[in-house]
Chains A and B, each alone.
Chain A
Amino acid sequence: MINSRPITCRRFARRSIRAGCALALAISLLAPVPLGEAASSAVFFVRSTLQRITPEKDGSEGAHPPSRKIVPRIKLLLSNTHELAFGEAILAATLLDPSVASAEKKGERSLTIKGLSAGETILIISGPNTRSTYVIEVLRPARPRRAQEKGAGRALPVESFSGFYSLYFSPGFDGAPSLARHTFEFKQKLAQARTLRAGGELFNFMGGGERALAQPLWTSFGAGRLRFGLDSPESSFDLLDSELAVSRLSFNQYTVRGPHFVSQTASRWRGLEIFAGRARPQLSLFNRGEGTLAGALIPLAVGPSWRIRVGAFFVSPAQQRETESGIIWHADVRYAPDDKTTAEAEADYAKGHLSWRARLDLRRGPVTLYGELLRLDRDSPLVFLGAQPGGRKLHSFGLQWRALPHFIVSASYHSATNSPPSVARRFELNSRTVTATASYAPARGTRLSFSINQQELEQPAARDIPFLLSLRTRTATLRYGQRIAAHWTNDLEARFILSREEETAEQMTRGLTFREQLRYSWRRGSLTGFVNYRGNTPSLTSLVLRNPALLPPDTRAAFAADPLRFLLLNGDALPQLLAGVELPMTRSTEAGLRLQAAFSRLSMTGEVHYGTGEVAARAQRNMIVSFSANLKLDAANSIQVSGSRIHSFDGSGDRTALTVSFTHRFGAEGHSGFQFSRLLGLTARASVRGRVFLDTNANGEDDPEEPGLAGMKVQLDANHTLMTDSSGRFNFSALEPGEHAVALVHDELGVQFRASNTTLRQLVLEPRETVNLSFGLTNVGFAQGRIFNDLLLAGEKEAGDAPGVEGVRVFLRGTLKGSAALTEPLTQAVNASGLFEFRNLSPGSYILEVDPASIPADFHLRGQTAWPLNINPLQGSFLDLPLIAQRAISGIVFVDNDGDGKFDANKDQAVVAARVIGGSVEARTDSHGSYILRNLPAGKLTVRAFLPNEVASEPVHLELGPNPVFKRAVNLSIGK
C-alpha cells in the first residue's frame, strides 16, 4: 500500500498507534500463535502506521525512498470474478488496460474484478488516505489433456510385472482365535499392451474362541476373492472372481465367480459383456447365500453421446424355490451430450413385473442438480440374488447452488420404501431424509457450514416383521474449520438433535454433540488434540437395545446372554445391519491426543484418549491407547505393527489387540533388500557402462588413445553415484528396464574441466540391454595474441586497435616442466589482422617463438624473439608482440642564400652540426649538412633544425602512414 498524501492529524495517528498496539496484544493473547510472532506483528503494525503518517516533502523534486516492494498479483481465469476488499472507502479504481479486466465497486470497500481477456493489467485503488496497486493477470482455462497427451512423456514402468504380497497376523486375545491372512496381487505385462493379472486372499483361524459375529465356519481355512484375468486395450476377461457393474438396478459392485468378458465401446465388440458363474457376494455377515447367474449385455446402438443396450440375465439361488429364480430382460439407455448433462434410464422385466430406474444430472452455471427415481419389484429374481435386499421405491433429489465464489447452498431429499421378501434375514428400514446445508469459505483454510437434517425411520411394510419402529430425528449441525496460522488448524462441530420414537413410547427429546479438534502440523507429521461430547443422543446401540429383533436370529442368543458385552464386541458391525444411520453411544465424553509422524523409513500414528459414558444406564470409563507403525525396510518390503489396549475403570476387564503384517511389492524400484522377483529369476536387468575420458583432441569422441579419468563421479537417477576406477570406467548393473538418467557430476566442471559432450544422458533401457556411453572432458587452454604494428613506438604491451602484420610465423614449443609438453612444436602464420591462436593446449609451460625470417621487410622486433607462456585449464594466455615499422626521413639543413627555399649546392650553404628534431627523435647534421631521422612514429610530424646559436629553420610538416617509409630530401632552410 503506497502512501500518496500525508495525514496531518497527529491525534488520529497517536490513537491509531495505541489501538494497533492494543489489537496486536489482544491477538497475541487470544490467538494460539507464538508470542514472538504476535510481537513482531505489533512492531510491523506500528512501523507501517508511522510510515503512513510521515509527512512528505512538498514538490515533485523531493526525495523519495527507493521502492522494491513487489506488487500483489491476482490471478483469475477468463470470465471468472475475484472479490477484492479494501481497507477504507474506495474513491476511485483505475485499470490501465480495461480490455483485460473490469473492476466494479461492490459496496463501499470492495471491488469485483472480472477477467475479460487473457493478459495483464494494473489496478490502482485510491482511498481517502491510502492507495493500493495490484497486478491483475487473466489466464485462459487449461485445456483438458487428451489421453494421448497424458501418455506422452510418461516414464515407462520400471518392471514388466507389479503387485504385492501381504501377510497379516493377529494373535488371539481374550479367548479369541488368532487370524492369519495372505493377500496377493500380481500383474504381468505381455505383448500388445496386454496384462495378465492374478490375486486373492487366503485366511486361517487358529485356535478356538469366539469369532464375534462371524458365522461358525465348518473349517478354519478359507479363501476370499480369487482373481485371474487378462486385460487388453479392447477388453478384459476374468476366469475367477470379478465385479459386475451392469447397472444400479440389477448388478452393481456384485461379485461373480466364473468367466466374465467385458469389451470397450470403442472396440470391435462395441461394449459387449457376457458373464456366467456362481454368484458370490462379499463375505459379509448378512448377505444371503450363493447361487448361479448368467447374462449377456449387447450394445444395440452406440453414438458419440448416447448408447442403447439390451440384455438378459438368468438367476438361480442355491436354495431355490420356483419364485426365486427366473430370467430378467434388461434394457438401458444413456445420453451424455457433454460433461454437464447426463441422462440415463433402465428397465428390467421379469415374471410380468417391470422394474425401472431413471436419473438426470445437470450442471448449469452455478447450479447443479440431480434427480433419481427407482422402482424394484419385490418379486423380481434380482431381489434374491442381485445386489438389492428387497423390493423398493426410491426417490432422490438434490440441488446445489454456488451463489457466490465462497458461498454454497445445497438441499437434498431422499426417500426409500422397502418391501422385503418373506424369506429375508435382514431388513432395511424405510427412511425419508431432508437435508439443507449452507457453506461459506471466507478465506483459504476457513470454512463455516450449517446444516439441518430431518430423518424418519420406520419398519418396512411386511407381514412378518418382528418389531414396530417409528423414529423421527431432527439434527442441526454447525461446523467451523479455520487455519489459524501456518501450522495450526482448528475444527469445531456442534450438533443439536431432537428425536422421538413413537412406537416404543421412548421419548428422547434432546441430544447434543460437540466435537473440537485442534491440530498442529509440521513437515513430518501432526499432533491433534480432540474433545468429543455426546449427550443423550439416539443411536443404533439404543435402537438395538430396544428392538433386539433387528438382530439376525443367529446372534440373538448371544445378545440376550449379555447385551452390553455383545454391543461392545460387535458394535462395529451394526452399521452393516442398518445402513445410513449413525452409531454414536448413548452418552459419552472423550478427550485425547493423536500423533502422526513420518520419518525417512518409518511412519507411525498413535492415539491415547480417555472416555466416559453411559450405555444402557450403565456407566463406563475407559482409557484407550492405540498405535500403528509402518517401517519401510527397503523399496520392496515393509512391516506394519498396530495394536490397541482398552483399560476399563469400571471393572469390566481390559482388552488388547495386536496385528503384525508384512508387505512385499513386486517390481519395486531399488537395488537392495529382499526381492521375490530376484529370487524367482523374474527380473530382466539392464546395465549402463562406459568411461570418463580426457578428450585431448576435444572432438567429443571417445578415441582409444585418450586417457581415462579416475575418481570422477557419475550419477544415476539422482540417487546412485559411482566413482570411476583408475582407467576412468564405471558400471551400473542390475538396472530395471525403463527410463534412466545418467549424468557426470563434478565440482570442477566449468572450472578445471569442460565437457566435450553432454553430461546428462536420458536412456530408455530394454530388458537385458547394456548401453555403453562415455563422458568426455577437456581441460585445455589456449594461447592467443597478435603481431601488431606498433604505430607510436610507445612500447605498447597490448595490440589494441593497432593494425596487424600478416605473414609472421610463430612457433609454440613445450618445455620439460609442462606435464603435457608438445613433442613437436606447433607453428602458425598469423593472418591479416596479425592474429595467432593455438587451441586445445594441455595445461603447462610453453615457449612462443617468432621466426625472424618471416618478419616483413622494414619491420623488426625489439630484440627478444622468444617468450614463456603458461597455459592454465580452460583459460587463455594472451601475448601481443609489437613489430616496429621503419619510418625515416632525411635531408639537408642549409642557409638559403638565394631565398628560393630549395637547396642549391652552388648557391646555398650547408650547415654543419645543426640539431634536427622530429617528434621525439633528434639528429645532427654532418659536415655536408645532411641528417636522417629514424624510428619515427606514424602520424603527423613536425621537423625543424636548430643552429648552434639556436636560430631555427622553417618547420616542415609531414604525415607518416602506418607502413614503413623513408622520405628523402626533406631539406630544412634557414634564412640568410
Chain B
Amino acid sequence: MIRHPFLTQLLFILGLLLCGFEAVAQAQPNTLGVSPASVEAKVRRGATYTQAYTLSNSTGERLRLRCSVIDYWYDQQNKRVTGRPGTLPRSASAWVQFSPSELIVEPHSSATVKALITVPLAAAGGYYTMPVFEALPIKTADAPSPSGESTATASIGIRFRGLVMLATEDASEYNVEIMGGKVLAPTASTPLELNLDVRNRGTVHARVHGNFALLDAKGNLSGRGKVENGRFLPGQRNILRVPWAGELSPGHYTVVVTLSYERVEMDAATIVYELPFDVSQPGSVARGPVEAVP
C-alpha cells in the first residue's frame, strides 16, 4: 500500500476547514434585536415626543411583537427593580403610547414602532420607564405534516427590555454630593483604595465620572487616576470604590477627588472632595502604572 503523507494531511486539513465552515454557518446570528436599547433625553414639559424603535428579526420565524412598558427603579441594595406601570417612583410609563402596540415582523426583516411620549406640564425632574418588547412566534395554519401524522410544536417567547430616561428642561434640580470618603493607604500587599460615599439629592439622574490626584505634603502630584462612570438615579446613594495600584513613600498625602456630572442646558458641574492620609510603610512592590484600575 502506497502512503501519501502529504495527501493525507491535506485531506485532514480540508476536513477540518469544512467542519469549521459548517460550525460557522450554524452559528450565524439567528437573533432578534431592538434599537436603540437605551434612550436618554431632555424633554419639555407639556410637549410630545416621538421615539422610533427598530425591531429586527434575524430568525426564520414570523414573530408577533407586543410593545409595553414597565417601571424602572432601584432598591435599597441599589439593585434594579421593575414594576408594573405607575407603581414605582418617578414613573414615565403612563406617558408612553406605542404605535402600533403590536406588530408582526417577517423573518429576516425589521420593523419600526413609534413610542409617543407625552410629558405632563406638572412634571419636574427625571422620569424613567422600561419599554418591553415581547416576541412570540406566529403559529402557521394547522397544516398536516406531509406524512399525515400529527405533530407537536413548541414555541418560546423572547422578551427585550430597553430603558428610557427623561430629564425635564428648566425643571430639573441637580445636586450630587459626596457624603463622605475613606482612604485605605497602600501597603506591601494591598493597593490604595478610595471609597467615596456619593448621593444624588437632585430630582434627576446624574452620570458621575471624575478624576483624583494624590498630592504630597508640598502639593506635588504623586499619582492620579480616573473615577469610572456611575449612574445615580434621584435619591440614590452608593459607594464608589476606586483602587489605585501605585506605591507611595512614607509621608502625608492628600487625595483630591473631583466628580463631574452633566446638567441639561447648563455647564457640567464638578464637585471636589479632599481626604488626607498618611503612608507609614512603603509599598515594597509597585503594582502597576500610575493609573486607576477600574
Contact = CB atoms under 8 A, between A and B. Distances in A.
Contacts of A508: none
B270 A135 contact: yes
B97 A778 contact: yes
B172 interface: no
Interface string A693-713: 000001110000000000000
B274 interface: yes
Contacts of B256: 2, 124, 131, 133
A22 interface: no
Contacts of A831: 136, 157
Interface string B206-238: 000001010100111100100000000000000
Contacts of B218: 91-92, 126
Contacts of B273: 64, 67
Given A91-B219, A94-B219, A758 B50 contact: yes
A167 interface: no
Interface stretch (A282-290, A553-561, A585-593, A871-879): A871-879
Contact of A133 (B86, B180, B221, B272): B272
A756 B101 CA distance: 12
Interface string A130-157: 0101010100000000000000000000
Interface stretch (A7-15, A496-504, A745-753, A953-961): A745-753
Contacts of B120: 749-751
A67 B224 contact: no
B215 A876 contact: no
Nearest to A97: B211
B274 A2 contact: yes
B11 interface: no
B278 interface: yes
A755 interface: yes
Nearest to B184: A60
A574 B181 CA distance: 76
A125 to B, nearest CB: 8
Interface string B35-73: 000000000001110100000000000000010100000
B94 interface: yes
Interface stretch (A69-77, A212-220, A669-677, A938-946): A69-77
Contacts of A70: 269-271
B248 interface: no
Contacts of B270: 70-71, 73, 122, 135
A96 interface: yes
Interface in B125-167: 136, 155, 157
B179 interface: yes
Contact of A92 (B86, B176, B219): B219
Contacts, number: 161
Nearest to A68: B177
Contacts of A743: 46
B183 interface: yes
A759 B185 contact: no
B276 A60 contact: yes
Nearest to A798: B84
B213 A698 contact: no
A40 B277 CA distance: 35
Contact of A755 (B118, B121, B211): B118
A924 interface: no
Contacts of B258: 71, 122, 133, 135
Interface string B96-125: 010101000000000000001011111100
A63 interface: yes
Interface string A828-860: 000111000101000000000000000000000
A755 B48 contact: yes
A56 interface: yes
A750 B271 contact: no
A64 B254 CA distance: 13
B177 A66 contact: yes
A760 interface: yes
A389 B242 CA distance: 80
A contact face: mostly helix, strand, loop, or mixed: loop
Given A61-B182, A747-B121, A131 B219 contact: yes
B13 to A, nearest CB: 47
A637 to B, nearest CB: 34
A705 B273 CA distance: 64
B157 A833 contact: yes
A754 interface: yes
Contacts of B224: 96
Interface string A818-833: 0000000000000111
B97 A754 contact: yes
Given A4-B276, A60-B182, A751 B211 contact: no
Given A94-B221, A96-B211, A96-B224, A832 B180 contact: no
B118 A94 contact: no
B142 to A, nearest CB: 15
A66 B273 CA distance: 8
B132 to A, nearest CB: 11
Contacts of A758: 48, 50, 116
A754 B116 CA distance: 9
Nearest to A56: B276
A94 B274 contact: no
B82 interface: no
A67 B94 contact: no
A446 to B, nearest CB: 25
Contacts of A778: 97
Contacts of B187: none
B16 interface: no
Contact of B48 (A120, A751, A760): A760
B179 A60 contact: no
Given A700-B99, A749-B120, A69 B271 contact: yes
Contacts of B46: 743, 745, 749, 759
A749 B211 contact: no
A750 B97 contact: no
B267 A73 contact: yes
B213 A96 contact: yes
Interface in A548-566: none
Contacts of B182: 60-61
Given A64-B180, A749-B121, A754-B95, A875 B272 contact: no
Given A60-B182, A747-B121, A67 B177 contact: yes
A133 B258 CA distance: 9
A710 B275 CA distance: 63
B249 interface: no
Interface string A882-897: 0000000000000000
Nearest to B222: A94
Nearest to B257: A67
Given A70-B270, A71-B271, A96-B211, A839 B121 contact: no
A66 B86 contact: no
A848 B74 CA distance: 33
Contact of B176 (A68, A96, A759, A760): A68
B155 A832 contact: yes
A837 B268 CA distance: 44
B275 A64 contact: yes
Given A73-B267, A94-B221, A122-B213, A750 B272 contact: no
A756 B117 CA distance: 9
A63 B267 contact: no
B47 to A, nearest CB: 6
B42 to A, nearest CB: 15
Interface pairs A-B: 5 shortest CB-CB: A126-B219, A750-B120, A60-B277, A92-B219, A68-B177
22 contacts: A4-B254, A5-B276, A60-B183, A60-B185, A64-B273, A91-B219, A92-B215, A92-B218, A124-B213, A124-B219, A131-B254, A133-B256, A698-B99, A750-B118, A754-B95, A754-B97, A755-B48, A756-B116, A760-B47, A831-B136, A876-B85, A876-B86
Given A3-B274, A94-B215, A94-B219, 13 more contacts: A4-B254, A68-B177, A124-B213, A124-B256, A126-B215, A131-B219, A131-B254, A131-B256, A137-B267, A747-B122, A749-B118, A875-B94, A876-B85
